[in-house]
Structure 1
Amino acid sequence: MSWIKAAKCNDVPMGTGKLVIVDDHLIALFNIDGVFYAIDDACPHQGAPLSEGMVQGCVTVCPWHGAEFDVTNGKLLCGPGVRDVKTYEVAIDGEDVLLEVP
């Protein structure tokens, strides 16, 4: 695995998510109170972009059918999702957000 620059810190305002593409991976990057988290962008239910979901605390709500995922660990909290989503390690280097991808 390697660390790859995904965004600048100021690209993702607090309390929001943003789609980033890293080595052909679609990843939802979230800024929760200044801490960054990254999960697969596609909801496992029907592929909705989780980066576009409403963020409530550390939870993103799928914009299509309302499944809820904890962005800190990828856990499915509320269906109609069918499974957890993959998480990615995040590091900050100055103003850059780095993700560890396979």
Structure 2
Amino acid sequence: MAWFKVACVADVPPGTGQMVIADDELIALFNIDGTFYAIDDACPHQGAPLSEGLVKGCVTVCPWHGAEFDVTNGRLLGGPGGGNVRSYTVKIEDDNVLIEMV
């Protein structure tokens, strides 16, 4: 297990997502009312960047075909998607956002 700094808290405003890199993996990092969540950035349907999707509460909507994923756990909630995506543990230290890679 290793922790990777991927952003500062101010880099990801509440209600948005951003693509970050941790251990050479593309990760979608979301700020939901000050709590940070991380899931795989690529939609399993056709590889769309989930970090660029519309964020509605704890759900991101795939920007290409509308699949919906729960950002808190990576579960596919609806639409084409091909299945769940991996979720990652996130912690905040000082102003730094860190993701645990196992």
Q: Deviations over 1:31-60 (max 9, x none)?
A: 000000000000000000000000000000
**CA distance in structure 2 between the aligned counterparts of 1:29 and 1:88, rounded to whole angstroms:** 9
Which stretches of structure 1, 4 residues or longer, exceed 6 Å deviation after superposition?
none
Give % identity: 71
Structure 2 match to 1:76? 76
Runs (5+) with no aligned partner, structure 2: none
CA-based RMSD: 0.5
Q: Which residue of 2 aligns with 1:4?
A: 4
Count of residue pairs the alignment pairs up = 102
SS where residue 80 of structure 2 aligns? coil
Task: Give the residue type in structure 1 aligned to 2:84.
Answer: D
What displacement does 1:22 show?
Answer: 1.1
- 1:16-27 to 2 correspondences below 5 Å: 16-27=16-27
Structure 1: which 5+ residue stretches go unaligned?
A: none
| Distance in 1 (alpha carbons) for counterparts of 2:12 and 2:37 | 11
